[in-house]
């Protein structure tokens, strides 16, 4: 049986991904920083205690897997003080370094990254995996993170960089944070709402990761975004329609800047990213349409 080792799997994306690998017959082992987090793992996944930022016995378990998934990273949705910015970068770069250094030749590494690689705001530009990187803080973090993962290529590891867009799931991430204000009828576009909103359904993310794990010819960066990209105001409209609530309260630019500081740039900018390499490789998205994706996630039947 093939084995997958997941680091950073105790957050939002990890449990979904582990369930997808388990359903495909993989044995799943997951790095857990603290015993209290063991219950984040789905039934059937085996916890391995350890800190991904430090060398330890966990690296031997990691080295015994054919597929390794790295999702480690301090959550970016916190106020960006200088110390927190260091943690955002170091948690990603150092964990990747520790993982890569433990892997033998022939392993597949699926490393998280983000469309933030291209910068927070690329206006109307069509972005593919060949586009140039951005210059802001998160873009620089993504570049260093990916560089560390790509070190594995020198050692015969097949490295796939999963540049996630905004991952939509009902139990975490951006959608969960937005649900309450929308349910209360207090939702609305952020700033002008004209910015592009590169989303992906969590189910498509999991299928695409398994697809990369199984296709030996694939490597390098992959935009994990739906081919049905919408503007932020269109996303808001679809969410309001699915929830049958009004969404007439735009959140002004200045308010976002006041509350979130530098992080606000992320909500106010947009990247019109296209999943070119996944499409070229023959991956079929189950949820290319935002309204259908939201209905599915919020368990609302189509009528």
Q: Which residues contact 7 (CB under 8 A, 6 or more apart)?
A: 30, 31, 52, 62, 68, 69, 70, 71, 72, 95, 99
Using CB under 6 A as the binding rule, the residues of this chain from 254 to 273 that contact ligand NAP are none
**28 interacts with ligand NAP by CB under 6 A:** no
Which CB atom, from 187 or from 198, has the smaller least distance to ligand NAP?
198
- Of positions 2, 3, 19, 33, contacts ligand NAP by CB under 6 A: 33
Total residues contacting ligand NAP by CB under 6 A comes to 27
Distance between CA atoms of 243 and 212, rounded to whole angstroms?
A: 34
**13 interacts with ligand NAP by CB under 6 A:** yes
- Of positions 59, 91, 107, 232, contacts ligand NAP by CB under 6 A: 91
**81 interacts with ligand NAP by CB under 6 A:** no
Using CB under 6 A as the binding rule, the residues of this chain from 49 to 68 that contact ligand NAP are 52-53
- The two tokens of residue 141 are 């973090």
Instruction: Determine how many CB atoms are found less than 10 A away from the CB of residue 280.
Output: 11
Using CB under 6 A as the binding rule, the residues of this chain from 101 to 140 that contact ligand NAP are 112, 114
On the CB side of 12, CA atoms within 13 Å amount to 20
- The two tokens of residue 186 are 């207090």
CA distances, 132 to each of 27, 102, 220, 276 (Å): 37, 30, 15, 15
Determine the interface stretch with ligand NAP among 7-15, 41-49, 149-157, 231-239 (rule: CB under 6 A): 7-15
Using CB under 6 A as the binding rule, the residues of this chain from 153 to 192 that contact ligand NAP are 164, 166-167, 173-174
Which CB atom, from 95 or from 256, has the smaller least distance to ligand NAP?
95
C-alpha dihedral (130, 146, 275, 103), degrees to nearest 10 = 120
**75 interacts with ligand NAP by CB under 6 A:** yes
Determine the interface stretch with ligand NAP among 4-12, 98-106, 183-191, 263-271 (rule: CB under 6 A): 4-12
CA distances, 37 to each of 11, 32, 46 (Å): 9, 6, 12
Which CB atom, from 101 or from 249, has the smaller least distance to ligand NAP?
101
**72 interacts with ligand NAP by CB under 6 A:** yes
**8 interacts with ligand NAP by CB under 6 A:** yes
Which CB atom, from 111 or from 296, has the smaller least distance to ligand NAP?
111
CA distances, 130 to each of 173, 195, 216, 274, 285 (Å): 27, 21, 21, 11, 21
Q: Contacts from 122-125 at CB under 8 Å and sequence distance 24+?
A: 122/269, 122/270, 122/271, 122/272, 123/270, 124/272, 125/272
**12 interacts with ligand NAP by CB under 6 A:** yes
DSSP state of 42: P
* Residue whose CB is nearest to ligand NAP in the complex, by number: 11
Q: By CB under 6 A, name the binding residues for ligand NAP.
A: 8-14, 33-34, 37, 52-53, 71-75, 87, 91, 95, 112, 114, 164, 166-167, 173-174
């Amino acid at each position: 049986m093939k084995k997958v080792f997941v680091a950073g799997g105790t957050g939002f994306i990890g449990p979904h991904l582990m369930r997808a690998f388990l359903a495909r017959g993989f044995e799943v082992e997951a790095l857990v920083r603290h015993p209290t987090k063991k219950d984040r793992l789905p039934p059937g996944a085996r916890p391995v205690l350890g800190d991904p930022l430090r060398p330890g016995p966990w690296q031997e378990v990691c080295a015994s897997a054919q597929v390794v998934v790295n999702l480690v990273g301090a959550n970016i949705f916190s106020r960006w003080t200088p110390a927190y910015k260091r943690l955002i970068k170091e948690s990603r770069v150092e964990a990747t370094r520790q993982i890569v250094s433990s892997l033998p030749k022939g392993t597949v590494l699926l490393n998280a990254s983000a469309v933030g690689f291209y910068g927070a705001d690329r206006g109307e530009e069509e972005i593919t995996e060949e586009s140039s990187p951005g210059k802001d803080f998160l873009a620089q973090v993504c570049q260093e993170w990916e560089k560390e993962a790509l070190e594995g290529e020198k050692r015969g590891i097949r490295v796939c960089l999963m540049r996630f867009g905004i991952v939509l799931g009902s139990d975490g991430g951006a959608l969960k944070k937005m649900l309450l204000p929308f349910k209360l009828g207090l939702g609305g576009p952020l700033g002008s709402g004209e910015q592009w909103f590169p989303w992906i359904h969590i189910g498509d993310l999991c299928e695409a990761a398994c697809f990369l794990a199984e296709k030996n010819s694939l490597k390098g960066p992959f935009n994990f975004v739906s081919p049905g990209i919408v503007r932020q105001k269109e996303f808001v409209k679809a969410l309001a329609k699915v929830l049958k609530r009004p969404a007439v309260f735009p959140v002004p630019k200045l308010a976002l800047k006041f509350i979130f500081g530098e992080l606000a740039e992320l909500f106010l900018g947009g990247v019109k990213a296209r999943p070119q390499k996944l499409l070229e490789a023959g991956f079929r998205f189950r949820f290319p349409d935002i309204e259908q994706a939201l209905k599915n996630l919020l368990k609302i039947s189509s009528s």
